[in-house]
């Protein structure tokens, strides 16, 4: 009898599964692993704040010395202040210098580019070097009566974005008398960026007249003279040296006190008993000389004076002529003769 071979399907399926597992294992060994992509990744970032230029803002720049009120006129040898308002997108410690020029606009064209350079008669330049201890300097700074009053200048806190600087100064004696003095300001930061301000809105400040006189000759002594002496007598004239300083046109004049010790001034030039008369001129010129009275306006000896230098103009030829009445009591006589400088 022939035997029929039979297959156990369970065994076959088992072998197939084992084979499949072997294949998967082998494939896993020979196939490389796949890397998964990152879902995020950081990169560096940076930015720089640009250093913007400082900004000047101020509509009225000239103040009195106490910074309390604005003014429109200046008198030489009187203290004033220029207010400078500055802002900066950072803080004020970014600032390097502030330069303030106060100058005469001689041609009245409101053009800052042709304002005069530092000069005793037409321009004064002040600089503040900004810092924890600010530096204040003026130009011209020698042989001048201009000055920057550093003790009264003000620098604001440098930790904020803005503030007011005050430049206190005294105009010089020969700062030219004029009705158009202007203010020009330049601020510079530590990156050399600048802003400028030209005060034309409230500018055209007046510089008022200033005059100063110094009589160099201490006293006029005619010495021993005789009663009845006339103006043209050889002993009748004496010269007086006078120094005049002015920032504009001026007159020179002379007057005398009416009563001298025991004698009286005769203002008509016709002295009688114990009276005297005096004439004066800016040089030895009796014909041009005028009679002295007690009022300076009555005897003007020079109408040609004008702007002087800081040292002034000196005239050593001013001449006084004495006339005596008669009779005259013997003795000494003295009084006061006054020289004037006057605005013309």
Residue 251 shares a structural domain with residue 318: yes
Residue 142 shares a structural domain with residue 157: yes
Query: Mind giving me the DSSP string for 26-66?
Result: HHHHHSPPPPPPPS------------PPPEE--S--EEETT
With respect to residue 161, please indicate whether it lies within any of the assigned structural domains. yes
Q: Domain with 183 in it: what CATH number?
A: 2.60.40
pLDDT of residue 177: 98
Q: CA 323 from chain center: how many Å? A: 51
- Show Cβ contacts of residue 10 under 8 Å, excluding neighbours closer than 6 positions: none
- Show Cβ contacts of residue 36 under 8 Å, excluding neighbours closer than 6 positions: none
Give the closest residue to 333 by CA, choosing from 232, 231, 220: 220
Final residue in a domain of this structure, among 188, 207, 226: 207
With respect to residue 39, please indicate whether it lies within any of the assigned structural domains. no
Q: Tell me: the pLDDT tens digits for 126-153?
A: 999 999 999 999 999 999 999 999 999 9
Final residue in a domain of this structure, among 207, 233, 253: 207
Q: Tell me: the pLDDT tens digits for 172-226?
A: 999 999 999 999 999 999 999 999 999 876 668 999 999 999 999 999 999 999 9
Residue 195 shares a structural domain with residue 253: no
Final residue in a domain of this structure, among 176, 207, 238: 207
What span, in angstroms and rounded, lies between the C-alpha atoms of 239 and 317?
Answer: 6
Residue 77 shares a structural domain with residue 200: yes
Residue 191 shares a structural domain with residue 297: no
Residue 216 shares a structural domain with residue 132: no
Q: Which domain holds residue 257?
A: 211-343
With respect to residue 109, please indicate whether it lies within any of the assigned structural domains. yes
Q: What percent of the chain has pLDDT over 70?
A: 87
Looking at the DSSP assignment, which residues form a beta bridge with residue 68?
A: none
Number of domains in the chain: 2
With respect to residue 15, please indicate whether it lies within any of the assigned structural domains. no
What span, in angstroms and rounded, lies between the C-alpha atoms of 144 and 245?
Answer: 13
Residue 220 shares a structural domain with residue 193: no
Q: Is the Cβ–Cβ distance between 199 and 184 less than 8 Å? A: yes
Give the closest residue to 165 by CA, choosing from 177, 153, 176, 174: 153
Residue 59 shares a structural domain with residue 115: yes
Q: Is the Cβ–Cβ distance between 99 and 58 less than 8 Å? A: no
Residue 215 shares a structural domain with residue 331: yes
With respect to residue 14, please indicate whether it lies within any of the assigned structural domains. no
Give the closest residue to 101 by CA, choosing from 77, 84, 76: 84
- Show Cβ contacts of residue 137 under 8 Å, excluding neighbours closer than 6 positions: 126, 127, 129, 148
- Average per-residue pLDDT in the chain? 90
- Show Cβ contacts of residue 8 under 8 Å, excluding neighbours closer than 6 positions: none
Q: CA 113 from chain center: how many Å? A: 17
Looking at the DSSP assignment, which residues form a beta bridge with residue 147?
A: 170
With respect to residue 132, please indicate whether it lies within any of the assigned structural domains. yes
Residue 191 shares a structural domain with residue 74: yes
Residue 216 shares a structural domain with residue 178: no
With respect to residue 115, please indicate whether it lies within any of the assigned structural domains. yes
């Amino acid at each position: 009898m022939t035997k029929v071979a039979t297959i156990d399907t369970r065994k076959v399926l088992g072998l197939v599964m084992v084979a499949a597992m072997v294949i998967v294992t082998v494939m896993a060994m020979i196939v490389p692993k796949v890397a998964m992509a990152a879902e995020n990744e950081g990169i560096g970032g940076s930015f720089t704040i640009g250093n913007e230029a400082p900004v000047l803002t101020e509509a009225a720049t000239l103040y009195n010395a106490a910074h309390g009120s604005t003014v429109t006129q200046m008198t030489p040898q009187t203290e004033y202040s220029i207010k400078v308002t500055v802002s900066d997108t950072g803080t004020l410690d970014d600032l390097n210098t502030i330069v303030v020029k106060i100058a005469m606009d001689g041609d009245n064209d409101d053009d800052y580019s042709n304002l005069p350079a530092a000069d005793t008669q037409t321009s004064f330049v002040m600089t503040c070097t900004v810092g924890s201890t600010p530096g204040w300097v003026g130009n011209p700074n020698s042989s001048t009566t201009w000055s920057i009053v550093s003790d009264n200048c003000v620098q604001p806190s440098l930790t904020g974005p803005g503030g007011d600087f005050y430049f206190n100064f005294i105009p010089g004696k020969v700062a030219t008398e004029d009705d158009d003095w202007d203010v020009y300001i330049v601020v510079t930061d530590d990156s050399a960026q600048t802003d400028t301000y030209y005060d034309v809105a409230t500018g055209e400040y007046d510089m008022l007249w200033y005059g100063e006189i110094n009589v160099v000759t201490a006293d006029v002594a005619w010495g021993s003279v005789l009663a009845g002496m006339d103006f043209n007598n050889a002993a009748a004239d004496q010269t007086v040296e006078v120094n005049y300083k002015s920032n504009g046109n001026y007159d020179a004049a002379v007057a005398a006190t009416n009563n001298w010790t025991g004698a009286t001034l005769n203002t008509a030039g016709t002295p009688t008993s114990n009276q005297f008369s005096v004439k004066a001129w800016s040089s030895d010129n009796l014909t041009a000389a005028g009679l002295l009275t007690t009022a300076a306006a009555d005897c003007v000896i020079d109408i040609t004076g004008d702007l002087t230098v800081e040292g002034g103009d000196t005239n050593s030829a001013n001449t006084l002529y004495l006339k005596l009445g008669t009779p005259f009591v013997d003795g000494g006589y003295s009084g006061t003769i006054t020289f004037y400088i006057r605005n013309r």
